[in-house]
Amino acid sequence: MSSVNSPDSGASLRSSTGPDTGAVLVAGSEWWRSAVIYQIYPRSFADSNGDGMGDLAGISDRLPALRDLGVDAIWLSPFYTSPQNDAGYDVADYCDVDPRFGTLADFDRLQREAHDLGMRVIVDIVPNHSSNEHAWFQAALASPVGSVERSRYIFRDGSGENGELPPNNWQSIFGGNAWTRITEADGTPGQWYLHLFDRSQPDLDWENPWVHDRFRDVLRFWLDRGVDGFRVDVAHGMVKAAGLPDYTPPADAGSMGGGLGDELEAGEAQIPPYFGQEGVHEIFRDWRRVLDQYEGDRALVAEAWVEPLSRLAEWVRPDEMHQAFNFTYLETDWEASALRRTIDTSISAFGEVGAPSTWVLSNHDVVRHASRLGLDDSGPQGAGIGPLTPGKPDAVLGLRRARAASALMLSLPGSAYVYQGEELGLPEVIDLPDAFREDPTFFRTAGERYGRDGCRVPIPWEPGVPAYGFSPSGESWLPQPGDWDDYARSAQAGRPGSTLELYRTALRLRRERELGLGAVEWLPGFRDEVVAFRNSGVTVISNLGEVPVELPSGRVLLSSEDLREGVLPTDTTVWLVED
């Protein structure tokens, strides 16, 4: 079995190697095909003004640490004007910076400094919904039924005798009803509006050309400022099926996916009328035409919780987006045959349409993989874990597996995503006091689902100082655990065997050996519990079984654990070369 990541599919020019990490921006290089992209969650990365909330100036100050890590690009989760009901994924002005995070001038500085350090900058765009505080929605509320202003959102009359029931049975991805009834200007109970997420996130109506025009403007606003691309939020949800028919998702549907699941592979499941509709593709073809008018290889990345991979690949056809997050990989169990299958299917499904595969293990919506891989069962994405979740993660096992999983991921051809803090081996924070929780999932399910706050705790920079150096005042919008000294970046820097050094080494070797542009050639002769392949002359072996694996001859370039006596112990990944 062998997978080839179409070597001639455009990956012709590669960034040349400079000092340290070697990052140099080269126009026209299709950099996104092999890039390692680091996700910054602005609230929790670095706080420069001491209010306990991370900000853009804090990010700028800490950029050298990311260059030192060796990433090619950063992706910034939303920092736009927002009431922050969904941590910024509720945007009240798409073309301005929320004062909590800074100003447009701060953004310009951040982008300039990132570019100077050889890192691209991707920003988030949230087109499925706006905030209810957006001027467009406020105008819709103030305007009569049937008005132009209302037509920008999905307003409907209620069902029931007096319109007292929601227009259909859709449930919000965060729990509870997906419809909220408004009070009309004259004080009478009025129409209902759709919100697939929180009630403060009304869905825009992409049947309306006006919405298309506005988002083209938003794209151009940031492209003109010089961004290298966009991560497109809910890129599978913008178009809804005509007539908004009732739909009940399967019981095990993930919180983010809301039901476009595995069953589809068998051709049995119904596609949700709010996800994966054909019409979304026309929008991205249009957006692609906008990006193509700009120089410098700007990229669109789909956040689309869509399975199977062959269907997700439709988002990255040559005239659509450039990349899509591979959540199938993120959700694959720590099991060798399942991983081999996902790797193979990913490379071939994306390769079919000439796109690179991507790889991701963590982000701001899922339980951090250093904890997830130490759980028996992590539950649906977005549900989170908390004090009363049965079966606590095994922290030692979780970190060991996370290191092995990351070393495996970073050896694969294509583009990889790293979520802030995973390079420190950070675990999910489980025992957050309820009073600090902010995720709407927690509130909309009355605490039944803990939600995503546990993976969003501000990250530690230095040991032994207030807030671990996250903030000069020691404030932190979510409390950090008291035992994070050893996870702090400066405590791990230069410490042999630390998770930070493992990532640094992996990223350096990945760049030097051009693993991102290579291909997977499976190696025969290993037990079923072993993932073994060669990529660009590097032999990669992950042992997921109990029995130690005898190592083939070769020089060890990298290992996720200490190796003794020429064997690869359980839950360990090694990279070898023959020379």
- Our CB check for ligand NOJ shows the closer of 275 and 287 to be 275
CB atoms within 10 A of CB 246: 10
CB of 128 to ligand NOJ, least distance (A): 7
Decide: 24 and 15 in contact? Cβ < 8 Å. Answer: yes
> Does residue number 355 form part of the binding site for ligand NOJ (CB under 6 A)?
no
CB of 94 to ligand NOJ, least distance (A): 13
- Say which DSSP state 169 is in: -
Contacts of 483 (CB under 8 A, 6+ apart): none
Decide: 38 and 74 in contact? Cβ < 8 Å. Answer: yes
Using alpha carbons only, how large is the chain's radius of gyration in Å?
23
Run of H or E residues at 406: helix 395-409
Decide: 375 and 401 in contact? Cβ < 8 Å. Answer: no
For residues 32 and 506, give the distance between their C-alpha atoms in angstroms, rounded to a whole number.
18
For residues 321 and 231, give the distance between their C-alpha atoms in angstroms, rounded to a whole number.
10
CB of 303 to ligand NOJ, least distance (A): 6
- Our CB check for ligand NOJ shows the closer of 86 and 297 to be 86
| 69 to 88: interface string for ligand NOJ, x by CB under 6 A | -----------------x--
Run of H or E residues at 576: strand 572-577
Tokens of residue 396, six digits: 């030692």
φ, ψ dihedrals at 308, nearest 5°: -75, 175
Tell me the number of residues near ligand NOJ by CB under 6 A.
9
| 283 to 312: interface string for ligand NOJ, x by CB under 6 A | --------------------x---------
278 burial (CB, 10 Å; 0-12 / 13-18 / 19+) is exposed
> Does residue number 234 form part of the binding site for ligand NOJ (CB under 6 A)?
yes
Tokens of residue 534, six digits: 């060669």
CB of 89 to ligand NOJ, least distance (A): 3
Applying the rule CB under 6 A, the residues between 372 and 411 that interact with ligand NOJ are none
- Our CB check for ligand NOJ shows the closer of 173 and 509 to be 173
Decide: 94 and 88 in contact? Cβ < 8 Å. Answer: no
| Sole binder of ligand NOJ in the list 205, 228, 233, 320 (CB under 6 A) | 233
Applying the rule CB under 6 A, the residues between 113 and 132 that interact with ligand NOJ are 126
For residues 345 and 28, give the distance between their C-alpha atoms in angstroms, rounded to a whole number.
28
Three-class SS state of 515: helix
CB of 198 to ligand NOJ, least distance (A): 8
Three-class SS state of 389: coil
- Our CB check for ligand NOJ shows the closer of 47 and 453 to be 453
Instruction: Catalytic residue, from 233, 297, 320, 439: name it.
Output: 233
- Our CB check for ligand NOJ shows the closer of 302 and 506 to be 302
> Does residue number 274 form part of the binding site for ligand NOJ (CB under 6 A)?
no
For residues 17 and 38, give the distance between their C-alpha atoms in angstroms, rounded to a whole number.
19
- Say which DSSP state 479 is in: P
CB of 233 to ligand NOJ, least distance (A): 5
Decide: 93 and 146 in contact? Cβ < 8 Å. Answer: no
State the residue number with the nearest CB to ligand NOJ: 89
- Our CB check for ligand NOJ shows the closer of 5 and 39 to be 39
CB of 118 to ligand NOJ, least distance (A): 27
- Our CB check for ligand NOJ shows the closer of 383 and 407 to be 383
Q: Is 233 a catalytic residue?
A: yes
Work out the angle at residue 224's Cα, subtended by the Cα atoms of residues 218 and 225, and round it to the nearest 5 degrees. 95
CA–CA distances in Å: residue 319 to residues 9, 286, 313: 14, 9, 12
Q: Is 268 a catalytic residue?
A: no
| Sole binder of ligand NOJ in the list 365, 423, 438, 561 (CB under 6 A) | 365
φ, ψ dihedrals at 328, nearest 5°: -60, -40
CB atoms within 10 A of CB 283: 19
Tokens of residue 185, six digits: 């200007």
- Our CB check for ligand NOJ shows the closer of 413 and 451 to be 451
Secondary-structure breakdown of the chain: helix, strand, coil percentages, each rounded to the nearest 5: 30, 15, 55
Contacts of 375 (CB under 8 A, 6+ apart): 367, 385, 391, 393, 394, 398
| 426 to 445: interface string for ligand NOJ, x by CB under 6 A | --------------------
State the sign of the Cα–Cα–Cα–Cα dihedral 551, 554, 560, 562. Answer: positive
| Sole binder of ligand NOJ in the list 89, 137, 193, 503 (CB under 6 A) | 89
- Our CB check for ligand NOJ shows the closer of 89 and 170 to be 89
CB of 368 to ligand NOJ, least distance (A): 15
CB of 477 to ligand NOJ, least distance (A): 16
Nearest CA among 251, 419, 439 for reference residue 325: 419
CB of 448 to ligand NOJ, least distance (A): 17
Decide: 413 and 5 in contact? Cβ < 8 Å. Answer: yes
> Does residue number 197 form part of the binding site for ligand NOJ (CB under 6 A)?
yes
CB of 270 to ligand NOJ, least distance (A): 22
- Our CB check for ligand NOJ shows the closer of 136 and 522 to be 136
- Our CB check for ligand NOJ shows the closer of 364 and 513 to be 364
> Does residue number 203 form part of the binding site for ligand NOJ (CB under 6 A)?
no
Instruction: Catalytic residue, from 198, 303, 422, 428: name it.
Output: 303
Contacts of 341 (CB under 8 A, 6+ apart): none
For residues 327 and 307, give the distance between their C-alpha atoms in angstroms, rounded to a whole number.
9
Give residues in contact with ligand NOJ (CB under 6 A).
86, 89, 126, 197, 233-234, 303, 364-365
Catalytic residues: 233, 303
